[in-house]
Amino acid sequence: MTTYNAPVEEMMFLFNNLKDNKNYNEIEKFKEINSDLVKDILEQAAKINQEVVHPLAKIGDENPCIYENGIVRSPPGFKEAYARFINDGWTSLSCDPKYGGQGMPKTVSTFFEEMLSSASLSFKLYSELSIGAYNCILHHADEKIKDVFLPKIVEGKWSGTMCLTESQCGTDLGLIKTKAVKQKDSSFLLTGQKIFITSGDHDLTENIIHLVLAKIPGGPDGTKGISLFLVPKFNVNNDGSIGARNGVNTLSIESKMGIKGSPTCVLNFDNAKGFLIGQENKGLSSMFTMMNLERIIVGIQGLGISETAYQNSLAYAKERKQGKSNNNKDNKTDEIIKHADIRRSLLNMKSIIEGQRSLAFWLSQQIDVSLNHTNDEIRKSADDLVSLITPVVKSFFTDMGTEITNEAIQIFGGYGYTKDQGIEQLYRDNRITPIYEGTNSVQAIDLVFRKVLNNKILSNFISIIKNEIKEKNGKSELQRFSKILENNIKLLEEFAKWLEDKNKDGKDDVSSACNDFLKVLGYISLAYSWFKITKVSLDKLGENKNFYEEKINTANYYYDKILPRVEAHYKSAKTGSDYIMKAKFN
């Protein structure tokens, strides 16, 4: 079984030193969120995740959800843990106080999302979609629906799901067949089937609120005819109490590679009563409020699982003895952490994880600004940056999660391949993250065609990095990093220009390069994060020499050993798609 210790010190380092977004610091309601308060929250979060949630990871994997007689039962211990989880108020952390929430900013709740992902992704998935449903209802539903449903979701007594996928369509939602027929009382009756519904049915909450995409007969074809509906598992009476069972039933749950403690359901809607969210035929734009947030959170899942993989790999490397290192002087067998190649693997993990955590913190500030700043232009600018970096966080973090969990298995050797250590479970649990909420290839296509070729968001982000470089403090390490980062930014700009030129008459070239471009932007974004970390660390060396020297050393490793991957991706992309499209695949 794995162990997990929440990296509170690392998180507080970011909150105390890299909360440097001027617009974020202007948000009045967050000015009282001080360091002492955040540290207390994170320490309490660490306690419940380490002591209560983390033991459920192995339990859920060995005792998966059961579907019997039309009922989905959660693994042993999940009910008790969830009851404590909601009693302690964790579902309400980032929610509006108007509906019973604590009103914490994303700069705080993102750290908690990481902890939960590290502790047990299966357990996390029961509440994760609830927050997505909360945000969608909050931004698009009428006041009556908000007043009835949001307090219970915030409290955690009711959970939420997102019902998009059908057997004939995943990404191409214009092909959905679920229909919604309007009734005299303005409600709708929904009929159809949805698949791959995370936490679609379970026994942890009193009610489950499904947000369902469907088509109203007579509406436009394709995605323009999609509407969004709130469909509860149990109907809700006028006084807010739970009424009769609605026409929503679970047909089966999937037998999966990982996240076995979370039920992935096939749901059947048979004249299920639902309520329109937003406007008719505008459902996809409303659902994107939930989907975009969920994509960022999926990226954080990859980060969280990577952290657990790293912690356990490091502990094992300090104990496992094998062979003699090159500098061995006593002729005794050494711990494998003394071998250069193992240290390389560990630093690969460490440099990517800490860079990702910093980038996620930067992004969380942009999200808070986009949602809460009083100036419309500032909100829009922040929202554009969130739009640009969302596919990077979703795809890059989860792809790196696959790389890191794979490397963790390698460090453990044969023991990593067995179930006893729990390392192979981390790989299996993470493997869904590059797939759901839009596959990583879809994210890369979205990044290039919608965020890079059709607007100037990328140039705004590049300007932010260039301004950061200009403000360097003159230290030799930063001078070196500046030159490397400037060269990589030049390459990024050349890559974007190449895509723009090719898009005129070689769209296959562009499509085949999308994944490479996303990786390039991901690695450079982490280099930007490490530049900021190093600047702070150089200034604070006297306060905690060991901590900040380690930061500087890890930054140097990232710039010398990881960042050169950028050039390889660029060179590969520029070869185009000729051989790809000529392949016969006989």
Residues 445 and 569 in one domain: yes
Cα distances from 172 to residues 129, 169, 447, 452, in angstroms, run 21, 6, 17, 21
Q: Which residues of 461-500 are buried (b: 16+ CB within 10 A; e: fewer)?
A: bbeebeebbeebeebebbeebeeebeebbebbeebbebbe
CA angle at residue 231 from 229 to 236, to 5 degrees?
130
Helix, strand, coil content of the chain in percent (nearest 5): 60, 15, 25
Residue pair 58/1 in contact (Cβ under 8 Å)? The answer is yes
Calpha distance 233→158 (Å, rounded): 10
CATH code of the domain in which 136 resides: 1.10.540.10
Phi, psi of 169 (to 5 degrees): -155, 140
Calpha distance 154→98 (Å, rounded): 10
Residue pair 367/106 in contact (Cβ under 8 Å)? The answer is yes
N residues, the chain: 586
- In terms of phi and psi (left: phi > 0; alpha: psi -120 to 50; beta: otherwise), the region of 188 is beta
Residues 121 and 28 in one domain: yes
CA angle at residue 54 from 52 to 60, to 5 degrees?
100
Calpha distance 567→563 (Å, rounded): 8
Of 348, 341, 304, give the one whose Cα is nearest residue 554.
Answer: 348
Of 403, 397, 392, 432, give the one whose Cα is nearest residue 514.
Answer: 392
Q: Is residue 319 part of a domain?
A: no
Residues 6+ apart with CB under 8 A from 305: 117, 118, 121, 401, 405, 426, 429, 430, 433
Helices (H), 320-420: 340-372, 376-412, 414-417
Calpha distance 274→559 (Å, rounded): 53
Calpha distance 14→502 (Å, rounded): 40
Calpha distance 47→59 (Å, rounded): 19
Of 483, 462, 479, give the one whose Cα is nearest residue 538.
Answer: 479
Domain limit, last residue, from 281, 304, 324: 281
Residues 127 and 163 in one domain: no
- Total domain count, the chain: 3
Q: Is residue 20 part of a domain?
A: yes
Residue pair 342/317 in contact (Cβ under 8 Å)? The answer is yes
Of 67, 205, 48, give the one whose Cα is nearest residue 126.
Answer: 205
Q: Which residues of 289-311 are buried (b: 16+ CB within 10 A; e: fewer)?
A: bbbbbbbbbbbbbbbbbbbbbbb
Give the model's pLDDT for residue 570.
Answer: 98
Is position 471 annotated as part of the catalytic site?
Answer: no
Q: Is residue 387 part of a domain?
A: no
Residues 136 and 162 in one domain: no
Residues 163 and 131 in one domain: no
Residue pair 78/261 in contact (Cβ under 8 Å)? The answer is yes
Q: Is residue 103 part of a domain?
A: yes
Domain limit, last residue, from 113, 140, 167: 140
Q: Is residue 392 part of a domain?
A: no
Give the model's pLDDT for residue 202.
Answer: 97
SS (H, E, C) 118-143: HHCHHHHHHHHHHHHHHHHHHHHCCH
pTM: 0.96
Burial class (CB in 10 A: 0-12, 13-18, 19+), 276: buried
CATH code of the domain in which 172 resides: 2.40.110.20
Give the model's pLDDT for residue 17.
Answer: 97
Domain limit, last residue, from 83, 108, 140: 140
Cα distances from 374 to residues 139, 153, 365, in angstroms, run 17, 27, 15
Structure tokens at 233: 């598992």
Residues 136 and 192 in one domain: no
Q: Which residues of 55-77 are buried (b: 16+ CB within 10 A; e: fewer)?
A: bbbbbbbebbbebeeeebbbbeb
Give the model's pLDDT for residue 327.
Answer: 75
Give the model's pLDDT for residue 418.
Answer: 95
Of 504, 487, 509, 528, give the one whose Cα is nearest residue 581.
Answer: 509
Domain containing 172 equals 158-281
Residues 135 and 166 in one domain: no
Give the model's pLDDT for residue 556.
Answer: 97
Instruction: Kindly write down the DSSP assignment for every residue of 182-202, as one continuous string.
Output: E-TTS-EEEEEEEEEEET-S-
Q: Is residue 414 part of a domain?
A: no
Residues 463 and 568 in one domain: yes
Calpha distance 251→270 (Å, rounded): 12
Residues 179 and 62 in one domain: no
Calpha distance 325→344 (Å, rounded): 14
Give the model's pLDDT for residue 474.
Answer: 74
Q: Which residues of 92-106 are buried (b: 16+ CB within 10 A; e: fewer)?
A: bbbbbeebbbbebbb
Helices (H), 438-475: 440-446, 457-470
**Alpha-carbon torsion (152, 202, 121, 312), positive or negative:** positive
Q: Is residue 327 part of a domain?
A: no
Of 467, 460, 462, 457, give the one whose Cα is nearest residue 535.
Answer: 467
Per residue of the chain (586 residues), give pLDDT as tens: 899 999 999 999 999 999 999 999 999 999 999 999 999 999 999 999 999 999 999 999 999 999 998 899 999 999 999 999 999 999 999 999 999 999 999 999 999 999 999 999 999 999 999 999 999 999 999 999 999 999 999 999 999 999 999 998 877 777 899 999 999 999 999 999 999 999 999 999 999 999 999 999 999 988 899 999 999 999 999 889 999 999 999 999 999 999 999 999 999 999 999 999 999 999 988 887 777 888 999 999 999 999 999 999 999 999 998 887 777 777 788 899 999 999 999 999 999 999 999 999 999 999 999 999 999 999 999 999 999 999 999 999 999 999 999 999 999 999 999 999 999 999 999 999 999 988 999 999 999 999 999 778 999 999 999 999 998 767 788 999 999 999 999 999 999 999 999 999 889 999 999 999 999 999 999 999 999 999 999 999 999 999 999 999 999 999 999 999 999 999 999 999 999 999 999 8
Residues 128 and 172 in one domain: no
Residues 223 and 98 in one domain: no
Residues 122 and 236 in one domain: no
Reduce the DSSP state of residue 17 to 3 states and report it.
helix
Q: Which is catalytic among the residues 128, 155, 307, 437? A: 437
Give the model's pLDDT for residue 328.
Answer: 74
